[in-house]
A and B are shown apart, each in its own frame.
Chain A
Amino acid sequence: MFGYLLTRLWQSIILLVLVSIIGFAILNLTPGGPLSQFALTPGMTQEAMDRIAEQMGLNRPLPVQYLDWAWRLVQGDWGTSYRDGQPVLSVIGRHLFATLLLMGSSTVISIALGTWIGIRGATHRYSLFDYSATIGAMVALSIPTFWFGLVGIYIFSLKLGWVPAGNMYTIGDGSVLNYLHHLILPSIVLSLVNVAIWSRYMRTATLDVINQDFVKTARAKGLRERRVLMKHVVGNALLPMITLAGMQLPTLLSGALVTETVFTWPGMGRLFLDSLGYSDYPVVMGLLMFSAILVLLGNLIADLVVAAVDPRIRLG
C-alpha cells in the first residue's frame, strides 16, 4: 500500500511538471508573448519594450525562465493580476467556494440520479426504460450545456418564475435557503452530461457484478432480491465509479465554466472569462494551472480511495 502510494505520488509529480511545461509554452510561444500587454500602450518604443523585457527577465534563455517561473509557482507566488494588482492565488481563492459549491451539488445530483438510472437499466435490461435511458444519455451528451441552461432559464425563470435566472444569492439575503434556491437550476444544468455518463458506466458496472459468483451465492442463500441488490451489487458496482468521478473532473470544470457564464455565477469560470476580457493573463494562466492541478489532485485522491476501500487491491 505504501509503495503504491509512493508510485502514484511520483507519477502525479511527473504529470505536474509536464502540465507546467505546457502552461509555460502556451504563455510564451504565442505571438507577442507576455509582452503583448505592453505593445498596445500608446507611444511605446522598441527601447522601452527591450527595457521591460530585461526587467521582467524575458531576455534570459527559455529554460532558465521556466525554472524561475516554476520555482515561484511552487512557493505560491503566482504573479499579480493586471486588473487590481492582487496576488493571483488570492483572486482565485475568492472565487473557489462558488465553483466548488456548484460542482459539489451537481456531483451529488449526478451520482444519485445516474446510479439509479444505471442500476435500473441493468436490472431491467432491454426494457423500455433501458432503451430510453440509453438514447436519452446519448442525446444528453449532445446538448450544449449553455443552451440547456438558456432553455432552463427561459422555462423555469422567465415563464414559470420558479427559480432565479442568475447569481448566487439575493443581495441583502444571505440565508442558506436563498443560496439553495439560486443553486437548483445551475446545478441541474451542470449535471446533465454527468448523469448521462454516470448512468452508462453504472449500467455496465452493475451488469459486470450482477452475474458474479458471490451475487449468485447471496441469491442462493435466499436473500431477497432487493437486499442482494443493495448490499452486494451496488457497493461493488460503485467502486469503479470513484475512479470515474476523478476522471470526469476536467469535464465538470469545463461545464462549470460555461454554466457560471450563463447564470452569472461568481466562480472560477466567470473569473476566467472576465480575465480573458481584460487580457489579465496572469490570472488566466493561474486558473489554467490551478484547474489542471485540481484535476491531478482529484485523480490521485480517487485512486487512493479506491486502493483503501477495495480489499482486492493490495499493491506494492
Chain B
Amino acid sequence: MTAITSAPTPWWRSRGVRRFARHRLALVGMVMITGLTLACVVGPHLLPYDALYVDLRARFSPPLTGDHYLGTDPLGRDLAARLLMAGRISLLVGFAAMLLSTLIGAVVGIVAGYRGGWLGASLMRVVDAFLAFPSIFLLLALAALLKPSPFVITVIIALTSWMEIARIVEAEVRSLRERDFVQAGRMLGLSSAHIMFRELLPNVVGPIVVAATLTVARAILLEAYVSFLGYGIQPPLPSWGNMLNGAQQYLASAPWLAIVPGIAITIAVTSFNFIGDGLRDALDVRSNEHT
C-alpha cells in the first residue's frame, strides 16, 4: 500500500507567493531594486574610475565621454562611480531607518491596541501630534540642531516616519484583542508581554511587512530631501540627495548632474512602492488607503 502522504506545499508555490508573482508591477519592482542593489555593491569595483578620483581636466564631461559613462561632476569625478557609491549610503539609510521606525511603530501600535484605555488613547494622541508636523520641517529642524552623520540622519528619519505603522498596527491589534485565542492566552495566565509579542505580533506581520516596504520608499525620499537641502548626509560622503545639492546652479551647462541622481532615486522609490503594493495584494492586507 502506498502511503498517501501529501507533501506540504513548498513555500514558493504557496498562495501568497503565487499572488505576488501574478502582480507584474511588484515583480518589475523586485527586479529593478535587485539590479540597483547589485550595481551599487559590485559596480564601483568594475568601473574604470574611483568615486573620489579628481580629474580637473575632465570637469563637466557630458555622459558617454570616453569611459565616463554618465559624465563627470564639477571636480571631474566620475558620475557613475559616485552614483553607485551614493546608492550604497542612500539604500542603507533607507533600509536602516525602515527597521528602526518599524520597531518603534510596531511596539507602540501593539501596546496601544492591546492595552487600550487611557494608555492606548494617549499613545495614539502622541501619534496624531507627531503627524501634525510637516515631516520635512521636523526633519530639518532636528538635523540642523544635531550633528548630521549617517547614523543621526537614520535615527531622525525613523523618528519622523513611525507613526503610520503605529496606526495600522494599533487598528489591527484592537480588532484582534477580543478574539478567542487572546482570551485563551489570558485565561492560561500568560503575561501581557507574551500575549502581545508572541500571540498578537505574528497575526499582524502582514500589515507590518507592507507598511515597512512602503516606509523604505518614504525613507529614501526623506533622505534625498534633507540631503538636497544641505542638512543630510554631508560630503565628501556621497548620497543621491546631496549629489543634487549643488546641481541647480549647473542646470544650464551640465543638466546631467541634476537628471541622473534623480532618476536613481525615482527608480529605487518606485520599486519599493510597487513591491509594497504587490505585497498588499499577496498578503491580503485590508487596505487602509487607496487601492
A: residues with CB less than 8 A from B are 14-15, 18-19, 21-22, 26, 30-32, 36, 135, 138-139, 141-147, 150-151, 153-154, 158, 197, 200-201, 203-204, 250-251, 253-254, 257-258, 261-262, 272-273, 276, 279, 284-285, 287-288, 291-292, 295-296
Q: Does B41 contact A (CB under 8 A)?
A: no
* Contact residues in A for B3 (Cβ distance below 8 Å): none
A243 to chain B, nearest CB (A): 13
Instruction: Sort A-B residue pairs by CB-CB distance and give the 4 closest, nearest first.
Output: A200-B290, A147-B262, A18-B129, A142-B269
Asked if A284 meets B221 with Cβ closer than 8 Å, knowing A141-B273, A144-B228, A273-B229, the reply is: no
Interface membership of B53, Cβ < 8 A = no
Q: Are A272 and B140 in contact (CB under 8 A)?
A: yes
Most chain A CB atoms below 10 A, which of B136, B265, B266: B136
Q: How many A-B residue pairs have CB under 8 A?
A: 142
Are the CB atoms of A284 and B144 closer together than 8 Å? yes
**Contacts A158-B252, A200-B290; A18 near B125 (Cβ below 8 A):** yes
Q: Is B38 an interface residue (CB 8 A)?
A: no
Contact in complex: A254, B270 (CB < 8 Å):
no
Output the nearest chain B residue to A285 by Cβ-Cβ distance.
Answer: B141
- Are A151 and B145 in contact (CB-based, < 8 A)? no
Partner of B290, one of A14, A36, A201: A201
**Beta-carbon contacts under 8 Å, B81-97 to A:** none
Whether A288 and B133, one on each chain, are in contact in the complex, defined by CB atoms closer than 8 angstroms, is: yes
11 pairs, CB–CB < 8 Å, chain A vs chain B: A26-B138, A141-B269, A141-B273, A145-B225, A154-B251, A154-B255, A158-B252, A272-B140, A284-B141, A292-B132, A292-B134
Tell me, rounded to whole Å, the shortest Cβ–Cβ distance linking A285 to chain B.
8
- Interface residue SS majority, chain A: helix
User: Which residues 120-138 in B have Cβ within 8 Å of A in the complex?
Assistant: 125-126, 128-138
Give every chain B residue within 8 A of A296 (Cβ-Cβ): 132
Task: Give chain B interface residues in 149-204, CB to chain A under 8 Å.
Answer: none
Tell me the minimal C-beta distance from A273 to chain B in angstroms. Answer: 6
CB neighbours of A151 from chain B (8 A) = 258-259, 262
Q: Is the CB of B244 within 8 A of A147?
A: yes
In the assembled complex, the Cα of A287 lies from the Cα of B225 at a distance in Å of: 18
Look across to chain B and name the residue whose beta carbon is closest to the beta carbon of A118. Answer: B290
Q: Does B104 contact A (CB under 8 A)?
A: no
* Chain B residues, CB < 8 A from A142: 217, 221, 266, 269-270, 273
Q: How far is the CB of B201 from chain A (nearest CB, A)?
A: 27
One of B129, B225, B244, B291 near A15 (C-beta < 8 A): B129
Q: Is B25 an interface residue (CB 8 A)?
A: yes
A146 & B134 in contact (Cβ 8 Å cutoff):
no
- Interface assignment of B60: CB less than 8 Å from any CB of chain A: no
Question: Which residue on chain A has the smallest CB distance to residue B272?
Answer: A142
Q: How far is the CB of A124 from chain B (nearest CB, A)?
A: 16
Tell me, rounded to whole Å, the shortest Cβ–Cβ distance linking A114 to chain B: 11
Neighbour of B132 across the interface among A197, A279, A295, CB < 8 A: A295
**Docked pose: A149 CA to B25 CA in angstroms:** 26
With A262-B248, A276-B144 as contacts: A150 and B258 at CB distance below 8 Å: yes
Q: Provide the residues of chain A in CB contact with B289, threshold 8 Å.
A: 200-201
CB distance from A8 to the nearest CB of B (A): 13
Contact: A250 with B130, CB < 8 Å? no
Partner of B262, one of A15, A138, A150, A253: A150
Q: Write out the residue numbers on chain A whose beta carbons fall within 8 Å of the beta carbon of B145.
A: 26, 30-32, 36
